[in-house]
Structure 1
Amino acid sequence: MTSGKINVVIARIYAFTKRHQFLYGILLSLGLTLMLLLWGLLLFMDGKDIDMTAVSGFGIFLTALISWICFEKGMQLREVKREVSRLNEKDQLFQLISLREQVNPHFLFNALNILKSGAQETWVKDYVVQLAQVYRYLLNYDSELQLAPIGHEIEFIEAYTHILKERFESGLSVVITIPNDLKTRNIPPMALQILVENAIKHNVISFTYPLYIHIYQEENYLVVSNNRRLKMGRNPIGYSQGVGLKNLERRYRLIARQSIVVLDDEEYFVVKIPMI
């Protein structure tokens, strides 16, 4: 079942729930009205000849009927809520898989372009080795994985930035200072790669204007910071609100119900991602 079909099913279940809540309210109101009428009848007939056994029996029957209706409707509503919860979890999984699939092809396209441009250079062999290490990491994680150890992500980003440095040489500097005791914590797979790629995509990188990227820990966050020198024609809003950052934000909301923190000024661009 696709994500769209799941959303349709959830909508129908909610409609079913609303209808039954409405019917339940009508039945409860009707029952209470009948009980009030019965109570008024007893007061009105006080001292007169009336079959109290029949009246009491009717009252007991009415009370039992209302109790049974409440119990049945309560059971139905609980079952509906469980089904909605199950479908919501499945829908979140589809969204996560979709977000993961948006990342990999883009990176492969860039990597192959770099490889093509350097086909006659001596560094091609080492480049291919590092590229293979990057994709070995990607293939080791199936599409349904939601989290990865920070230690594994750092190893991956080191191989990834090694490839990038072959292209940008001294124009790119990536420094990673993460304590070893944090490497067993988790973040979404390829989160660091998304942030590094975002910095490279939007900023000038040259010997004259080098790009400095620093990855470090601050409280319960991993922080990716870079100096800011936007390429000509780049929209500053697109830097902080691009597809990559939006996808990463959605992944955090789906996985951990947390948000990333984006700080943007004239000199530095900083993104903080929670450790899980």
Structure 2
Amino acid sequence: MNKRIFGIKIFDIAALLGTYLVLSIGYHITLWFNRTEEFRVYSDLLNLESWFNNEGLQYIIMLFATSVVWIFIFRIFRQWKLWQRLLLHFLGLPFFVLFSWKIFYLICESLGYWHMSGPGQVWDIYIPTLIYLIQFSLLHAYEYYVINQRKMQYEIELKNVALKSELSAIKAQLNPHFLYNVFNTINASVPKEMETTREMIAELSDLFRYQLKASREDFVTLEEELDFVKKYLKLEQRRFEDRLKININVPDDLLSKKIPPMILQPLVENSVKHGISPLVEGGKIDIIISEKEDKLIFEISDTGVGIKNKENIFNLGVGLSNTQKRLQKMYNSTLEFSDNVPSGLKVYFEL
């Protein structure tokens, strides 16, 4: 795991500092070699104070100016399009050159250090301009490289997920299909006098048939999903008898709407298993679906025991967490939980 400072990799910071150090030393050596023989003192070549008083100080100032421009282009405005951020360099370049030129001269004059004068000042304009163009070209190229690497990694992960999903889909098709056939065989062997048992097996078989369909299709009608939920709740009512009451309120004109399959069942199952089941007296489950501004509004509530710590609600099982992930990926939506009145839990989401 790469360590970071203010969200920046330490390696990147070290690379930038190292680059400026190398540039400043290179400029220091160049200036030394361009001195006349009488002013070329060999001790100055390796003198850190001599380096800092001139090139070192100037390059530290340029490094600071680089940081300011980098923050604006690569942090504050990083959500902008590339061509928009490139236009910011028309402001960044003059700032960088003037800052590294004028501030350097101002500090040198206040501390008594030497700096270029007369026509020689053009080098303190030319060199910062060249450094600015080179370094920000490299920074943009590095940014493109990092984004491209992330994109490639993301595509690899997507391919792996797609492969796993395909294998899971095949398994999901085989398992329900096998069980569906087994249920039909068992149902045929149950005596006619045990009609209630035969009906329950038939209903359970229908549930697996729908699950088989859900593994093959991305969307079903709201009517199909509700039929599946009703059959599931009918089986649960045979277990709970009068302890479980159901209320489903859905306008007929919404029944043809397309929704992802198996999006309601995990929420309803959670209400039955964790809400109603622990209560001796049982409770009631309400399923209310409406439409507002071309969005389907789902509300599943129960009068069960409720959940105090809703932050850990997704630890109750994979059904809720998987539903949450599906909503986020497909609709950028999320499950919202609140306390029901007078008791129980209310789940809300939009499609």
1:140 corresponding residue in structure 2: 213
Equivalent residue of 2:327, what SS? Answer: helix
Distance 2:119 2:323 in 1: 77
1:195 aligns with 2:264: no
How big is the alpha-carbon RMSD for the aligned residues of Structure 1 and Structure 2? 5.1
144 and 181 in structure 1: CA distance in 2 versus 1, 3 angstrom threshold? closer
Post-superposition Cα deviations, 1:153-195, rounded to whole Å, max 9, x if no partner, equal: 2121122223233333444332211123334556553232223
For these two proteins, the number of residue pairs brought into alignment is 242
1:70 corresponding residue in structure 2: 139
Between Structure 1 and Structure 2, whose CA radius of gyration is higher? Answer: 2
Alpha-carbon distance, 1:138 to partner = 0.9
151 and 44 in structure 1: CA distance in 2 versus 1, 3 angstrom threshold? same
Please list, as runs of the form range in 1=range in 2, the aligned pairs for 1:63-212 lying within 5 A after superposition: 64-83=133-152, 85-86=154-155, 121-142=194-215, 145=218, 149-185=221-257, 189-202=261-274, 203-204=276-277, 209=281, 211-212=283-284
Equivalent residue of 2:289, what SS? Answer: strand
Equivalent residue of 1:123, what SS? Answer: helix
Alpha-carbon distance, 1:130 to partner = 1.8
Alpha-carbon distance, 1:131 to partner = 1.7
Equivalent residue of 2:118, what SS? Answer: coil
Give, as a single letter, the amino acid of the residue that structure 1 aligns with 2:236. Answer: L
Please list, as runs of the form range in 1=range in 2, the aligned pairs for 1:234-249 lying within 5 A after superposition: 237=308, 241=313, 242-243=316-317, 244-249=319-324
- The percentage of counterpart residues that share the same residue type is 18
Give unpaired runs (5+ residues) of structure 2: 28-54, 60-99, 106-113
Indicate if the aligned counterparts of 2:249 and 2:287 stay in contact, CA closer than 8 A: yes
2:303 corresponding residue in structure 1: 227
200 and 274 in structure 1: CA distance in 2 versus 1, 3 angstrom threshold? closer
Distance 2:281 2:227 in 1: 27
Range moving further from structure 2, 129-138 or 262-271: 262-271
Distance 1:269 1:130 in 2: 28
Indicate if the aligned counterparts of 1:261 and 1:272 stay in contact, CA closer than 8 A: yes
Give, as a single letter, the amino acid of the residue that structure 1 aligns with 2:145. Answer: Q
Equivalent residue of 1:173, what SS? Answer: strand
Indicate if the aligned counterparts of 1:150 and 1:187 stay in contact, CA closer than 8 A: yes
2:287 corresponding residue in structure 1: 215
1:4 corresponding residue in structure 2: none
Equivalent residue of 1:137, what SS? Answer: helix
TM-score of the two chains, using structure 2 as the length reference: 0.50
Distance 2:236 2:152 in 1: 47
Distance 1:81 1:63 in 2: 27
Indicate if the aligned counterparts of 1:187 and 1:275 stay in contact, CA closer than 8 A: no
2:13 corresponding residue in structure 1: 22
Distance 2:203 2:229 in 1: 11
Distance 1:261 1:178 in 2: 20
213 and 61 in structure 1: CA distance in 2 versus 1, 3 angstrom threshold? closer
Alpha-carbon distance, 1:148 to partner = 5.1
1:271 corresponding residue in structure 2: 346
Range moving further from structure 2, 243-252 or 159-168: 243-252
Alpha-carbon distance, 1:216 to partner = 0.7
Distance 1:130 1:144 in 2: 21
